[in-house]
């Protein structure tokens, strides 16, 4: 109490702000909210990133106190305003004064010191990927016609047709005790930012595209993100399709632990038959299903994400809610898969999307491949068409619309960059390293999965490596040609521009229905 009275007696100034009462009705109006957010940033700048607020204290420094109800409301209002500009209450002291209350609060820029899973969803068109994710993040059951899918389909033509045409992102979280934090409106920027700020554990979904013409986009969602797990959906009323097998193959090619969700259980024709078919499908690729019928069964999975042999299978229905609690418990149970080496490495991110934001400038987004990036950090962007990298400044960072001080490996981020002398494009790298070298060619070990004839020197497929998607020329090195089922060493040369490539990166190459997978073994000039 002495500390509160001392600060109140000194008066406002520096990083200290007095607020007698913050009303939800008055202070969360748009104009007042923006003004208070600016005021918070000003106080924090004066306090080297830290602001102190006294609630229940008048502008003159008199400790007048508040009723418990009004103090609670004031705390909630201040928390919402803080989230708008990426701050959080880090210390809270409540004082009782003659049956009234005052508070001293410390606010600092939010840091995401929490576990954050990144999960890609895939599966055939109309197998319920987006509906399942929309139901999970909102806690709202579907009406049987894909109503909760609207939380993922944001383009007008996507909503009208009920078909996703690009990658969508969603997030929900858990408290430290495992309680689910749903979004009342997953389309709200403020709601998403609030979940990121409050949760002790976050789960982000990269929702891919099930329609075959957009397979390239699905590959980008799986190959181009720093994923922890893959969630494959199979509709109970349709079963396994060629797209199901295609998407499973992509996840396995990227060495992802896979989880299968049997969707639309309320429409199941012969669930036992479908489960038998899943057993057979997984056996072909050296995997074993583990059917989870209760949250208690999750403990029997062990560390399945390490060997990747075991595949959890959960029967779900977004309409009835069947299996949703199991998925919640499973996601809460699963660990982040980033290695210590990836966490401690210098920051690197392959750019997936580029935006121009009014008042902010150029923003690039993607998932952090390795390391940690901090607001205001000097970074390098490239390569350009000449293979050069350009110095830029990362002026601000957002994770699901929450402004944060830093972000680490596996988090989906938007980074505002200043000073770029080039126009960013998908496939470029943003990194803290200043020694990156662009290459035109690299050597790789490949496996040809599907090809009607033979792959000889001069074969020109499109390669998908990280977020790079570009035509290349393949040249077999140890044999005259490669056919379906063959393994071999090849030289891969980019046709149009150099890129940054590292040893050990996995990739997919496609041309029509032909497809192969590979691993970079050596980079060459």
Q: What residue ranges do the domains of the chain occupy?
A: 2-109, 115-333, 340-431, 441-524
Q: Which of the pair, 185 or 332, is modelled with greater confidence?
A: 332
320 contact partners, CB below 8 Å, separation of at least 6: 141, 265, 266
pLDDT value for 216: 80
Nearest-angstrom CA–CA distance, 313 and 330: 11
Q: What's phi and psi for 235, nearest 5 deg?
A: -75, 135
Q: Does position 214 have pLDDT exceeding 80, yes or no?
A: no
Reported as half-sphere exposure (CB side, CA atoms, 13 A), residue 305 has a value of 19
Contact call for residues 42 and 35 (beta carbons, < 8 A): no
pLDDT value for 156: 38
pLDDT value for 442: 97
Least confidently predicted of 94-98, 189-193, 198-202: 189-193
User: Residue length, the chain?
Assistant: 525
Residues 25-39: b if buried by 16+ CB within 10 A, e if exposed: eebeeeeebeebbee
Q: Mention the CATH class of domain 441-524.
A: mainly beta
Q: Mention the CATH class of domain 115-333.
A: alpha beta
Nearest-angstrom CA–CA distance, 40 and 28: 14
Nearest-angstrom CA–CA distance, 373 and 354: 18
Q: Does position 154 have pLDDT exceeding 70, yes or no?
A: no
**Residue 268, SS3?**
coil
Q: Quote the mean pLDDT of the chain.
A: 89
Nearest-angstrom CA–CA distance, 181 and 201: 10
Least confidently predicted of 22-31, 83-92, 173-182, 369-378: 83-92
Over residues 43-65, mean pLDDT = 87
* Per-residue confidence band for 160, with pLDDT thresholds at 50, 70 and 90: very low
Beta strand ranges found along 344-479 (DSSP E): 348-350, 353-357, 361-370, 372-374, 377-382, 390-399, 402-404, 406-408, 412-418, 429-431, 441-450, 462-465, 468-476
Q: Which of the pair, 12 or 499, is modelled with greater confidence?
A: 499
Judge if 115-333 and 441-524 fold alike in CATH terms: no
Domain 340-431 is of which CATH architecture?
Beta Barrel (2.40)
CA 56 to chain centre: 39
Question: Under CATH, what is the fold of the domain 2-109?
Answer: Translation Initiation Factor IF3 (3.30.110)
CA 259 to chain centre: 17
Q: Does position 256 have pLDDT exceeding 90, yes or no?
A: yes
Over residues 275-284, mean pLDDT = 97
**Residue 260, SS3?**
strand
Q: Which of the pair, 11 or 131, is modelled with greater confidence?
A: 131
**Residue 221, SS3?**
helix
Over residues 100-129, mean pLDDT = 87
pLDDT value for 112: 57
Nearest-angstrom CA–CA distance, 512 and 348: 32
Q: Which of the pair, 30 or 442, is modelled with greater confidence?
A: 442
467 contact partners, CB below 8 Å, separation of at least 6: 220, 223, 224, 350, 351, 352, 366, 426, 427
Least confidently predicted of 150-154, 177-181, 375-379: 150-154
Residue 458: Cβ within 10 Å count: 8
Q: Which of 224, 238, 287 is nearest to 468 (CA)?
A: 224
């Amino acid at each position: 109490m002495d500390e509160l009275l001392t600060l109140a007696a000194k008066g406002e100034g520096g990083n200290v702000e007095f607020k007698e009462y913050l009303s939800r009705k008055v202070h969360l109006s748009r104009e007042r909210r923006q003004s208070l957010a600016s005021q918070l940033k000003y106080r924090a700048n004066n306090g080297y990133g830290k602001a102190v607020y006294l609630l229940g204290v008048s502008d003159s420094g008199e400790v007048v106190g508040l009723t418990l109800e009004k103090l609670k409301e004031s705390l909630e209002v201040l928390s919402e305003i803080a989230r708008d500009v990426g701050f959080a209450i880090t210390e809270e002291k409540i004082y009782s004064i003659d049956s009234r209350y005052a508070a001293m609060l410390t606010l600092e820029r939010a840091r995401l010191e929490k576990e954050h899973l990144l999960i890609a969803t895939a599966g055939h068109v109309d197998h319920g990927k987006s509906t399942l994710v929309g139901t999970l993040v909102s806690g709202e059951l579907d009406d049987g016609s894909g109503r909760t899918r609207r939380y993922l389909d944001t383009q007008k033509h996507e909503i009208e047709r009920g078909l996703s045409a690009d990658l969508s992102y969603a997030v929900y979280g858990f408290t430290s005790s495992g309680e689910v934090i749903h979004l009342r409106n997953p389309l709200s920027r403020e709601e998403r930012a609030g979940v990121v700020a409050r949760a002790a554990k976050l789960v982000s979904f990269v929702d891919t595209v099930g329609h075959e013409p957009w397979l390239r986009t699905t590959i980008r969602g799986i190959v181009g993100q720093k994923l922890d797990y893959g969630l494959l959906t199979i509709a109970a009323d349709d079963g396994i399709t060629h797209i199901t097998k295609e998407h499973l193959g992509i996840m396995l090619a990227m060495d992802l632990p896979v989880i299968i969700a049997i969707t639309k259980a309320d429409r199941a024709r012969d669930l036992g038959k479908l489960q038998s078919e899943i057993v057979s499908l997984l056996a072909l690729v050296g995997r074993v299903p583990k059917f989870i019928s209760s949250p208690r069964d999750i403990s029997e999975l062990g560390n399945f994400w390490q060997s990747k042999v075991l595949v959890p299978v959960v029967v779900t229905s977004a309409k009835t809610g069947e299996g949703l609690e199991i998925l919640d418990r499973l996601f809460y149970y699963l660990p982040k898969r980033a290695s210590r080496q990836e966490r401690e490495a210098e920051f690197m991110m392959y750019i997936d999307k580029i935006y121009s934001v009014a008042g902010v400038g150029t923003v690039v987004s993607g998932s952090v491949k390795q390391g940690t990036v901090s607001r205001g950090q000097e970074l390098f962007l490239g390569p350009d068409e000449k293979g050069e990298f350009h110095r830029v400044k990362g002026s601000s960072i957002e994770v699901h619309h929450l402004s944060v001080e830093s972000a680490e490996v596996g988090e989906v981020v938007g980074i505002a960059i200043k000073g770029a002398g080039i126009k960013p494009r998908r496939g470029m790298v943003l990194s803290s390293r200043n020694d990156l070298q662009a290459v035109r060619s690299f050597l790789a070990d490949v496996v040809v999965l599907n090809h009607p004839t033979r792959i000889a020197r001069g074969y020109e497929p499109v390669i998908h490596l990280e977020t790079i998607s570009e035509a290349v020329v393949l040249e077999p090195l140890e044999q005259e040609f490669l056919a379906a089922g063959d393994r071999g060493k090849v030289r891969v040369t980019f046709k149009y521009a150099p890129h940054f490539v590292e040893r050990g990166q996995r990739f997919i190459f496609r041309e029509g229905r032909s497809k192969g997978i590979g691993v970079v073994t050596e980079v060459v000039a």
